[in-house]
Structure 1
Amino acid sequence: MSGRYDLGYKQLFAHPELVRELLTQFTPCTWLAALEVSAFERVNPSYVGEHKAERQDDLVWRVRCGADWVYIYILLEFQSNIDRWMALRMQVYVGLLYQDLVKRHELAPGHKLPAVLPLVFYNGATPWSAALELSQMIVPAPDGLHGLQAAQRYLLVDQQRLDPNALEAHGSLLALLFKLELSEATTVLPDVLASLSAWFADVAQEPLRRSVLLWLEDVVAREMPGVPVEQVILGHGGHMAARKYATWLDCWKDEGRQIGLELGKLEGMELGKAEGKELGKAEGKELGKAEGKAEGQRHALVKVIEARFGALPPATAQIVADIPNDDLERWIVKAASAPSLQALADGAAPSAHHAS
């Protein structure tokens, strides 16, 4: 990841609640579910190597386990591109972390180094292909040297390949956010946004609210450019599917195009047969495609409105029917961002008047 998107995830996992959900729901470390959120503590993730070059892990937490204050250091590495050398990087990070603990005299006399949980959080489109263990990147050692080679391992959370059924089974905030990012528009709007709206109404922790809202702003900025996140999330009151579209608006527009294409083919063929001429067929197909595209966009507009506000009242249905064909795409965007059905209808007068 990079830029604001990277920062958005760092802000999410700066909260122990979401770190705990990530580890207990999306890794084999389910034993952490028995620990209270208060057991998680942030640690300074900056280390300096031999040549004074600062090394920055994305996030580091430690977890108190039991009365003996046994710490487990959790390294979170955020990646949107595949790093072939990730296992080697983790080996370096763990070494620097241990070196830092020793230099700062964090270990009691006679105590051993703490256990480390290295975790890579990856959200790239291509499945992760890098080795999960450093030993897989080292040539076979001669006899007697095998046990002396580095063998650092790390856990991987490949967000784009998470099991949809597992996401449906978890009702946690993090699962909702993952579902929001991985779902198509027509599946995410009715269910996930309503659940997030309810979460915002109930949660009392203002820092966590701000971090989630900032993350949502990044997602909405990619999916629906120019639309305020408050209108999409807080003004909204499924099942997972494989992601096919770059943005939600692309999803709605493509549905309209596909419907329009089929209608256009049918109408064009009928007009062409009636004319009985090649020229008539071509003109008929073009006319049919244009009308069919408009009908497809009108159908997509209805789906957006129903997904956000429920069934269309007769008055709203009439407004949709009166919208000029060349204005339908603008209305799809408008319907996706309107704070309420009434606000959408209030802005309909000019278009409806123009249609008449």
Structure 2
Amino acid sequence: MVRDLVLGFIPLEWVHELDFSSLEKLNSSYISDDLRERSDDIVWRVKFRGRWLYLYILLEFQSTIDRFMAVRLLTYVGLLYQDLIKSKQLPSAGRPPPVLPVVMYTGDAKWTAALHLNDLTEAVPAELNQFQPQLQYCLIDQKRYDAAELEKMENLTAALIRAELAEEPQALIEVLNHLAMWLDRSSQTELRRALKEYFGRILTKYDLPGVDVDALADLTEMQTMLSERVKEWGRPYREALEAGRKLGIEQGREEGAELAEAKILKRQLTKRFGLLDEETIAQIDKASSAQLELWLDQVLEAESLQDLLGES
């Protein structure tokens, strides 16, 4: 999983030189209880050109964006170095190893927090800048990936992101079918069990009558059961989805009509009374469709903007 995450989603050429046969997970006990409550941190180390490289993977499942994520990671990396020094686990050269901080974000809103610590701090003279802490992290903002492109990738992380992006159960079943065949090896028992728990969490966002996820033994049982049940609960789900889509279209038509009326009114008022100020534009933009129609009917008879817009 870590290999696929790094190779598939970190756009740096040198990651292909990593020796993934040396990959091992480390104990992250050095993280304080206060910090642990806000993250699910995973630290791995892997050999890079004969020396250890540490991967700090922060799985960010919050719906809100942490503006100071770079500061959090600076703290985490500092604690990692402190722990390596205290436990005498520094490389043979006695220097702290390089760290690649990775944030995997699953929220709906686009990630807007600064990726570089320098972008958070106050501007300082060049002479002072050299003394400031430096840190930049790699962001994986999964909602920004295209589902079609992810489908082409033979990559476990890509499959999980496809599952998160699935808008209907059928798309989720396709991912499960793929994984069930892909992981059909006894050596993947632990991973299959973990994925079963993961998909069980994803399924909670669907209303699937008759589906008892907790009763399923593994990923294969989940895939088989969902495939058998898809015809039973797929129709009402699609009907509800279609009803919602139609409602959205009707609402969009109404909003589009209001925008067109407001645009025409602004154009006519500008021809009669000159450029409109911001207050007038805001008043028009906030008006209802009925109010806009009334103003349009009266615009040719009004002697001034106040005469027209002052009446509701």
TM-score by length of 2: 0.64
* Equivalent residue runs for 1:140-289 within 5 Å: 140-185=123-168, 188=171, 191-199=174-182, 201-202=184-185, 204-225=187-208, 227-229=211-213, 230=216, 232-235=222-225, 252-257=238-243
What number of residue pairs does the alignment pair up?
Answer: 229
- Distance in 2 (CA, whole Å) between partners of 1:176 and 1:136 is 33
Q: Residue in 2 aligned with 1:95?
A: 78
Query: Percent identity between the aligned chains?
Result: 34
**1: CA distance between counterparts of 2:68 and 2:162?**
29
Shift of 1:193: 3.3
The answer to whether the aligner puts 1:72 opposite 2:62 as a matched pair is no
Q: What secondary structure, in the 3-state scheme, does the structure 2 residue paired with 1:40 have? A: strand
Q: Which structure 2 residue ranges, 5 or more long, are not aligned?
A: 228-233, 248-312
State the 1:147 CA deviation: 1.6
Over 3 Å counting, the alpha-carbon distance change for 1:198 and 1:147 in structure 2 is same
SS at match of 1:222: coil
Shift of 1:142: 3.1
TM-score (ref. length: structure 1) = 0.57
How many angstroms does 1:32 deviate by?
3.4
Residue 210 and residue 99 in structure 1: after superposition, are their counterparts in 2 closer, same or farther (change >3 A)? same
Give 1:47's aligned residue: 30
SS in 2 for 1:58: strand
2:280 corresponds to: none
CA–CA distance in structure 2, aligned partners of residues 48 and 126 of structure 1:
28
SS in 1 for 2:24: strand
Q: Partner residue of 1:137?
A: 120
Q: Superposition RMSD on alpha carbons, in Å?
A: 2.9
Distance 2:99 2:48 in 1: 13
Residues 95, 200 of structure 1: alpha-carbon distance in 2 compared, 3 angstrom cutoff? closer
